[in-house]
Structure 1
Amino acid sequence: MPPSPAGPPPADGLLSAARRNLRELAQGLSHASHPPTPLFADSPRRWLRLLPYALVLALTAIFVPVTITVLINDYGVQGGLAGALAVGQAAPMLMLAHRPLQAWWIVFTADVVGAVVLLGQGLRPDALWPWTPPGLVGCLFVLLALGLRESRRTVIGVWLATGTACLLLFLVRPSHGNSSALLLFVLGGVALVIGAAVRERSDAQRRLVEQETISEAERAQRTLLEERTRIARELHDVVAHHMSVITVQADSAPYRVEGLSEEARAEFASIAAGARESLAEMRRLLSVLRSDGSRSELAPQPGLDRAQQLVEATVRAGLPAELSLASDVREALERGGVPQAVDLSAYRIVQEALANVVRHAPGARTRVSVTVRDGHLTVLVVNDRPEAPGSPLETSGTGHGLVGMRERVRLTGGTLDTGPLPDGGFRVAARLPLPPPLPPSASATSEEP
Structure 2
Amino acid sequence: MIQSLPAPLARARAHLIDVCTPAGPPVPLGGRSRRGWVRKLPYVVAALFTALLLPLTGNLLTHEYGLGFGFGLSLAVAQTVPLLVAVRRPLLAWAIAFAADLATALVLLSEPVNGEWPWPWPPMTVMGLLLLMLAAGMRERRPTLVAIWLVTGVSGAVLRSLSPERSSSNVWVTLFVVGGMLMLLAGALRERGDARRALAEQETISEAERARRTLLEERARIARELHDVVAHHMSVITVQADSAPYRLAGLPGEAREEFATIAATARESLTEMRRLLGVLRSEDASGAGGGTERAPQPGVGRIPQLVEATVRSGLPVELTMPDKLPDALPQAVDLSAYRIVQEALANVVRHAPGAETRVSVSAGDAGAGLMVLVVNAPAADRDAPPLETSGTGHGLVGMRERVRLVGGTLDTGPLPGGGFRVAARLPFTTAPEEDSVSA
Name the TM-score class by shorter chain: 0.7 to 0.9
Q: Say if 1:319 and 1:358, in contact at 8 Å, map to a contact too.
A: yes
The residue aligned with 1:225 is 216
The residue aligned with 1:135 is 125
Matches within 5 A, 1:130-279: 130-174=120-164, 177-248=168-239, 260-263=249-252, 272-279=263-270
The residue aligned with 2:90 is 100
**How far off its partner does 1:233 sit?**
1.4
- Quickly say closer, same or farther: Cα 1:337–1:194, change in 2 above 3 A: same
Which of the residues 28, 40, 46 maps onto 1:50? 40
Q: Say if 2:406 and 2:429, in contact at 8 Å, map to a contact too.
A: no
Partner-residue secondary structure (3-state), 2:320: strand
Deviations 1:89-119 (A, max 9, x none): 3232122212222221222123223333555
- Quickly say closer, same or farther: Cα 1:92–1:317, change in 2 above 3 A: farther
**How far off its partner does 1:296 sit?**
2.1
Partner-residue secondary structure (3-state), 1:338: coil
Which of the residues 301, 309, 322 maps onto 2:318? 322
Deviations 1:286-319 (A, max 9, x none): 2222114333212221222332343344455554
- Quickly say closer, same or farther: Cα 1:353–1:22, change in 2 above 3 A: same
Matches within 5 A, 1:61-76: 61-67=51-57
Q: Does 1:378 align with 2:374?
A: no
Partner-residue secondary structure (3-state), 2:382: coil
- Quickly say closer, same or farther: Cα 1:45–1:189, change in 2 above 3 A: closer
Q: Which sections of structure 1, spanning at least 5 residues, go unmatched?
A: 1-12, 437-449
Measured in 1, the distance between the counterparts of 2:100 and 2:198 equals 38
Partner-residue secondary structure (3-state), 1:149: coil
Measured in 1, the distance between the counterparts of 2:74 and 2:241 equals 103
Q: Say if 1:25 and 1:157, in contact at 8 Å, map to a contact too.
A: no
Q: Does 1:298 align with 2:289?
A: no
- Quickly say closer, same or farther: Cα 1:250–1:130, change in 2 above 3 A: same
The residue aligned with 2:434 is none
Partner-residue secondary structure (3-state), 1:352: helix
The residue aligned with 1:442 is none
Q: Which sections of structure 2, spanning at least 5 residues, go unmatched?
A: 431-439
Matches within 5 A, 1:112-127: 112-119=102-109, 120-124=111-115
The residue aligned with 1:353 is 344
**How far off its partner does 1:408 sit?**
1.0
- What is the TM-score with the length of structure 1 in the denominator? 0.78
- Quickly say closer, same or farther: Cα 1:179–1:367, change in 2 above 3 A: same
- Quickly say closer, same or farther: Cα 1:18–1:313, change in 2 above 3 A: farther
The residue aligned with 1:89 is 79
The residue aligned with 2:435 is none
Q: Does 1:34 align with 2:28?
A: no
Deviations 1:314-333 (A, max 9, x none): 45555444332233xx433x
**How far off its partner does 1:235 sit?**
1.3
Measured in 2, the distance between the counterparts of 1:271 and 1:72 equals 101
Measured in 2, the distance between the counterparts of 1:297 and 1:353 equals 22
Measured in 2, the distance between the counterparts of 1:14 and 1:191 equals 37
Deviations 1:50-106 (A, max 9, x none): 222112112223333454566689x55468366554433323212221222222122
Measured in 2, the distance between the counterparts of 1:182 and 1:15 equals 37
Measured in 1, the distance between the counterparts of 2:316 and 2:142 equals 61
Which of the residues 12, 20, 40 maps onto 1:21? 12
- Quickly say closer, same or farther: Cα 1:135–1:331, change in 2 above 3 A: same
Q: Say if 1:236 and 1:286, in contact at 8 Å, map to a contact too.
A: yes
- Quickly say closer, same or farther: Cα 1:93–1:358, change in 2 above 3 A: farther
Measured in 2, the distance between the counterparts of 1:198 and 1:341 equals 58
**How far off its partner does 1:165 sit?**
1.0
- Quickly say closer, same or farther: Cα 1:249–1:106, change in 2 above 3 A: closer
Q: Say if 1:349 and 1:405, in contact at 8 Å, map to a contact too.
A: yes
- Quickly say closer, same or farther: Cα 1:85–1:427, change in 2 above 3 A: same
Partner-residue secondary structure (3-state), 1:367: strand
- The count of aligned residue pairs is 414
**How far off its partner does 1:19 sit?**
5.0
What fraction of aligned residue pairs are identical, expressed as a percent? 57
Q: Does 1:339 align with 2:330?
A: yes
Q: Say if 2:361 and 2:371, in contact at 8 Å, map to a contact too.
A: yes
- Quickly say closer, same or farther: Cα 1:141–1:310, change in 2 above 3 A: farther
One-letter code aligned to 1:141: L
Measured in 1, the distance between the counterparts of 2:152 and 2:37 equals 34
Partner-residue secondary structure (3-state), 2:325: helix
